[in-house]
A = this chain, B = another copy of it.
Amino acid sequence: MIPMRHKRFDKMECPIARSLERVGEWWTILILRDALLGTTRFDEFQKSLEIAPNILTRRLRAMEEAGLLQRRRYSERPPRDEYILTRRGRDFSPVLLALLAWGNKHFAPEGESVSLVDARTGLTAVPAMYDAVSGRPITMRDFQFRPGPAANERIHRRYGAPKRERETK
C-alpha cells in the first residue's frame, strides 16, 4: 500500500535500512522538519516547501500510513484536516539534528544559515551523540554494532563478531 521504492531494504533487517524504508523519500524528511517546527496545514507545507500539491498529498498520505503523522479533522464543514506529528514522527528529530549538524559543518562554507541555539543561554549548540546509559560520547572506537536478540543469519554475518575476537579462533 505504501509506495516503497526498495522493498529490499526491509528484507535486510538492518534497523538503518528499515528506517530508510519508512522515511521513504526526501520530501518526507523535509515535511518532518517543518512539522517539528510547528507546521500542521496543507498550504503551510506547500508554501514552505514549494512542492506540487499532488506530491504533497501523496507524501502526506504515505506518512500517515507509516504512522509518522496523524490526520485530524479540525473543521467539519467545510471538511478540513491538519497533520499532527505522532510520537514516532517526533522521535525522528535526532536524525534531523544530526543532518543539521553535518550540513552546517561540511556544506556551509559561507557560515551557518540555520543554527540550533540553547533557549536558555542563546548560545549556539553543538549537537552530538552520547550514550544515555554511560554518559559518554559515542565514538566508533568505544562503541560497536553487535547483533541483537532478533538478529538473523545475514545480520550475524555483517555485524557478527568484532575483528579482534574473531582472530582468537
Interface residues of A (CB under 8 A from B): 5-6, 8-9, 13-22, 26, 29-30, 33-34, 36-38, 48, 50, 67, 88, 90-108, 110-121, 123-134, 136-138, 140-152, 155, 158-159, 163
A134 nearest CB neighbor, chain B only = B118
Q: Give the docked Cα–Cα distance between A126 and B132 (Å).
A: 5
Q: Are B26 and A107 in contact (CB under 8 A)?
A: no
A19-B100, A125-B138 known; A91-B106 Cβ under 8 A: yes
- Which of B16, B29, B34 is in CB contact (< 8 Å) with A33? B16
Q: Are B113 and A148 in contact (CB under 8 A)?
A: yes
Q: Are B126 and A131 in contact (CB under 8 A)?
A: yes
Q: Are A128 and B130 in contact (CB under 8 A)?
A: yes
Q: Are B20 and A26 in contact (CB under 8 A)?
A: yes
A26-B20, A102-B94 known; A108-B150 Cβ under 8 A: yes
Cβ–Cβ < 8 Å partners of A104 in chain B: 15, 148
CB distance from A44 to the nearest CB of B (A): 11
Q: Are A16 and B103 in contact (CB under 8 A)?
A: yes
Q: Are B111 and A150 in contact (CB under 8 A)?
A: yes
Q: Give the docked Cα–Cα distance between A134 and B114 (Å).
A: 19
Task: Give the most central of A21, A29, A91, A116: most B CB within 10 Å.
Answer: A116
Q: Give the docked Cα–Cα distance between A77 and B137 (Å).
A: 43
- Which of B18, B92, B112, B146 is in CB contact (< 8 Å) with A115? B146
Q: Which 10 residue pairs of A and B lie closest in terms of their CB atoms, listed nearest first?
A: A15-B103, A112-B148, A111-B150, A19-B103, A94-B98, A125-B131, A115-B148, A126-B132, A95-B98, A19-B99
